[in-house]
Structure 1
């Protein structure tokens, strides 16, 4: 009697179970459970104040949850933080950088903090500065960067150690169209070679074009999750998002705007 070798499916890149967070009387995240498949380009979408940033902050170890668990490739973020975070690259929204360093110094510092050898850090830093079109600004202080340049140098610090999972909170906000296209190419190539990208956004067209999977969050609750086609259910993602989230206003009462 022969026994077949059965391989178990790979652990999700990110596994969230019962994640919750409250700020005073406000429930910011209400017991969310979600799996992000390994090798996916996963979009987390929702209106402003939906709980996207709070969810991602807890998922990446930046904010301690009140309830629930988070695992990165099967490693618990809160019981084994160093092991879990070693495979994470994070571009957090609104977190201050060490902006009194130059761009080159900041990316170099990020690599050395990860325990990489100086030669590898130097090579990868120059590669990232070139690909992100930051070579001319490499020796300027980050505090003097534009919003778009700051976003790009923060992305470089998230990529320097070649993480297995990239978590990017609004990575295209304030980024010019040419740089945005460049970043999309980098991320698509990264996913094509086995990486996982989790990106939060409220730009539905961008998510529909880039992502393989999507989750919709509103009011701290998970409203839908699955492949992009499953979630949009035959509609555009934007129309499906509006029908799920609600709150669409009318323009009644603005007749004074009519010029003819």
Structure 2
């Protein structure tokens, strides 16, 4: 939800809804928030589970980091930002978005020049709080819990599976997720609607609904999402860029739920 700009039909700011709730979770005395981690094992029975969690190294002390941005400013490494759908750039030390919880940076160990072998070290020198920990290691935790709630999430459809639409071959063919990052004030273009190919305003935008859904080759069911998403994005375009023409290609409009 933090990735998108507005929620439909109320057009409320997404992060304005989510941000305070994340902050409440991070600060609640009865909630232990474990990020950058995965559950590796569950044993036991109802009322008496034992959960094993592997926490990957962050290389930044969450308690000491003040998110001052000095480490980012001095980092010499630029990496494609996968969080923004590969439309922008980030540094090897970064925070996914300004309202992230915890409000602490993390080091991309695959691209950082300061980890083994040491070839940089600029961020550790720049950090006045001494929050950078190159020696950070993976940690294993075990918790005893009475109940488990599984939040399954979803997997984005790979649009390259339908080559006739050109996603992955033409830079100006993007998914709605990538479109959301473009028009988000915290996105790679700071909320400006531009073509990825030349960063100029498009004259016309076409939306194609039901890509990957209601299709026997992939998912035969309705996504229960894309119609509302398209309507919302169309309204946002006409609100902020009224001269841009919008065209929607659809099978049926199934307008229910949130987008």
Higher relative contact order (CA 8 A, sep 6+): 1
TM-score normalised according to structure 2 size? 0.22
| Larger relative helix fraction | 1
Scaled by the length of structure 1, the TM-score of the pair is: 0.22
Determine which structure has the larger strand proportion and give its number. Answer: 1
Which entry has the higher C-alpha Rg, 1 or 2?
A: 2
